Structure 1
Amino acid sequence: MLKKNYNTNFKIGSLFDGIGVFPLSASRFGINPIWASEIEKAPISITKRHFPDMLHLGDITKIDGGKIPPVHIITFGSPCQNLSNIGKREGLTGSQSSLFYHAIRIIEEMRCATNGAYPIIAVWENVMGAFSSNNRLDFKAVLESFTNTEIPMPTSGVWAKAGMVRGNEIDVCWRVLDARYWGNPTLPQRRRRIFLVADFRGKRAKEILFKTRELQSFPASGRESRPTSTAASRRSSEKARRKIPVVRPFQERRMRSTAKDKNKSGFIGSFGRTNDPFPTLLAGSVNNFSFWYEGKENEGYIRQLTPLECERLMGLPEGWTAIGNKGEVISDYARYKAIGNAIAVPCAEYIMAGIAENL
């Protein structure tokens, strides 16, 4: 594992902050969280608990980027509802996803107020639907917003899962990261997201986003490390006298659509197979799975993931969403929603490690 000690003077601001995944990941690599913008009550309280010194700016539409503390890095996972393949697909013109342009405005205002000194790096995260919404023109608009130059459509008419463009001395790279392949151990959740890095001062975006690197191992709890899921499973098997556990997550969206279409084979397939990853955790969905010991199917059962298990699937420290900044207990409903809207921690850590190395 990488043992490098990160000690930087870099500062980060987080727009559409949610439960503070970008600040959490940044702080692990010596980058100091300075401010955040979020409007949801429970996520704000959760983030305040973990980052009591961080300034909260509130509604992004009311922020003037030239009047807030300048930072080296601005991160934002703008609302995906109008870009997602499961929504109405209004794209960047939709009431929620159009807030992307407020983040771009804030970046431009800060750069104008600091004569181009801040921010140095911007990081954007969003769903795969951003590649295809609005007849694939939305992602073109995203690239043009960062580079302030016209970007041609790819000759194939389809955006690649990874790429780079350059305009007006601004380097922009993007890449699809799937949470199931990240973390230590890897996270058994299928969560494919676009991550874009813009470098306003050089040509380091490709080093940040494409370079292979190993990450430090961080404890799952703020107090002590717990065994990795592999080790924990091994111990559980030993305690169960070598009985082999079988976990099969349900593909809930597929289950509903195939039932509606009366597609019997598709419906049966939605019950999942052994070692299938969990489907993407979503803010408004219930994630169920079946469990039994091999040869004991009749003793198996079906249940819903707990908020703690959802935190583990996202790579969050255990209990990250359980308590607010005033000691109040966060409801399960609010935790499920906040976690479903969050970013997978190992993916964010990979990018923050690259920023710490290359700046």
Structure 2
Amino acid sequence: MSGALTLGSLFDGIGVFPLAARRQGIVPVWASEIEKAPVSITRRHFPGMAHLGDITKLDGGKIPPVHIITFGSPCQNISQIGNRTGITGEKSGLFFEAIRMIEEMRDATGGQFPIIAVWENVMGAFSSGDRMDFKAVLSAFTGSEVPMPASGRWANAGMVRGGVPDLSWRLMDAQHWARPRLARRQRVFIVADFGGRRAGEILFKPRPMLTLPAPCGTGGLPAPRRRSRPCS
């Protein structure tokens, strides 16, 4: 694969996925977000990233294809502190709009793009809808029926192999993934690899933690850092 990897971010918020991508040399190409305040933030930090607007009005086959699509779809209906109407709820049901866009892009590009999709959401995804919502999420990604585990409960990590995409999921806690240590924040991540069998390597392979960027000072500018004197 030649050239830089590219990324599109759905339900972009304040651009956390684009920020993580940029720190790894991946180029954020476009984002979909409808809230004005987050868009104003990402326009400032990612001036070259296009803003496509409302996901329900987008056609995945008519927007620039990207290697990676990321999305943290709304959690209001599956969160343990939400109304628990489930993955088909008014907000959380927008998950299926992202799946639609991925399918449209793959159809339009002959299955070339995206190569990787990453979904992030709350831990409540494992238990909402009598634990059937996570089954629906996995089945939507794979386009096939994913059986429930014999235990009737979803493990904190797992894989669905043998088809397209190759898929892995994992429950991760932010406090273990940054220095200095962050507050406890558990989230479910799914990696879907449409181009190979790398989902497990991407999600399960140990990697060194990145340091947090310097906090912003007045006016949103990076905080000043003490500079050492040049050697004489």
Structure 2 residue aligned with 1:44, among 34, 39, 45? 39
Q: Which amino acid in 2 is paired with 1:30?
A: G
The 3-state SS of whatever aligns with 1:19 is coil
Does structure 2 retain, via aligned residues, the 8 Å contact 1:12–1:23? yes
Counterpart amino acid of 1:97?
Answer: S
Structure 2 partner of 1:25: 20
Unaligned runs of 5+ in 1: 1-6, 222-317, 324-359
Offset at residue 8 of structure 1 (A): 5.5
Q: Hey, what's the Cα distance between the residues in 1 that align with 2:11 and 2:181?
A: 26
Q: Is 1:170 aligned with 2:165? A: yes
Q: Identify the residue that residue 9 of structure 1 maps to in structure 2.
A: 4
Contact persistence 2:180–2:212 (CA under 8 A): no
Q: Which residue of the other structure, out of 96, 101, 116, is the alignment partner of 2:96?
A: 101
- Displacement after TM superposition at 1:219 (Å): 3.4
User: Which amino acid in the other structure matches residue 187 of structure 2?
Assistant: R
Report deviation, 1:215. Answer: 3.8
Matched, 1:219 2:178: no
1:171-207 residue CA offsets vs partner (Å, 9 max, x unmatched):
11011111111201221x1100001100001110000
Correspondence for 1:204: 198
Name the residue aligned to 2:227.
none
Deviating 4+ runs (over 4 angstroms):
none
Give the superposition deviation at 1:149.
1.1
Distance in 2 between residues matched to 1:17 and 1:170, nearest whole Å: 23
Provide the residue aligned with 1:155 in structure 2.
Answer: 150
Counterpart of 1:122 in structure 2 is 117
RMSD: 1.7
- The answer (yes or no) to whether the contact 1:77–1:124 under 8 Å persists in 2 is yes
Q: TM-score normalized by structure 1?
A: 0.59
Letter in 1 for 2:199: A
Instruction: Report deviation, 1:319.
Output: 6.0
Are residue 113 (structure 1) and residue 104 (structure 2) matched?
no
Counterpart secondary structure, 1:88: coil
Instruction: Find the aligned partners of 1:185 and 1:216 in 2 and give their Cα distance.
Output: 10
Equivalent in the alignment of 1:87: 82
Instruction: Give secondary structure in 2 for the equivalent of 1:169.
Output: coil
Contact 1:148 1:168 in 2 (8 A): no
Work out the CA distance in 1 between the residues paired with 2:217 and 2:201.
Answer: 33
Greater Cα shift, 161-170 or 25-34? 161-170
1:198-245 deviation digits (Å, cap 9, x = unpaired): 000111000000001114445324xxxxxxxxxxxxxxxxxxxxxxxx
How many residue pairs get matched?
219
- Partners of 1:37 and 1:216 lie apart in 2 by 26
1:25–1:319 distance in 2 versus 1, CA, 3 Å? farther
Check whether the contact 1:149–1:168 (CA below 8 A) recurs between aligned residues: no
**Structure 2 counterpart SS, 1:126:** strand
SS of 2:7's equivalent in the other structure is strand
Letter in structure 1 aligned against 2:184: R
> What's the CA shift for 1:143?
0.4
Fraction of identical pairs, as percent: 67
For residues 78 and 23 of structure 1, what CA distance do their matches in structure 2 show? 15
For residues 97 and 17 of structure 2, what CA distance do their matches in structure 1 show? 19
Hey, what's the Cα distance between the residues in 1 that align with 2:148 and 2:213?
43
2:225 matched residue in structure 1: none
**Does the alignment pair 1:190 with 2:212?**
no
Of 31, 56, 61, which residue of structure 1 is paired with 2:56?
61
Residue segments in structure 2 that go unaligned for 5+ positions in a row: 221-232
Q: Given that residues 178 and 212 in structure 2 are in contact (C-alpha distance below 8 angstroms), is that contact kept between their aligned partners in structure 1?
A: no
Whole-angstrom CA distance in 2 between matches of 1:216 and 1:31: 16
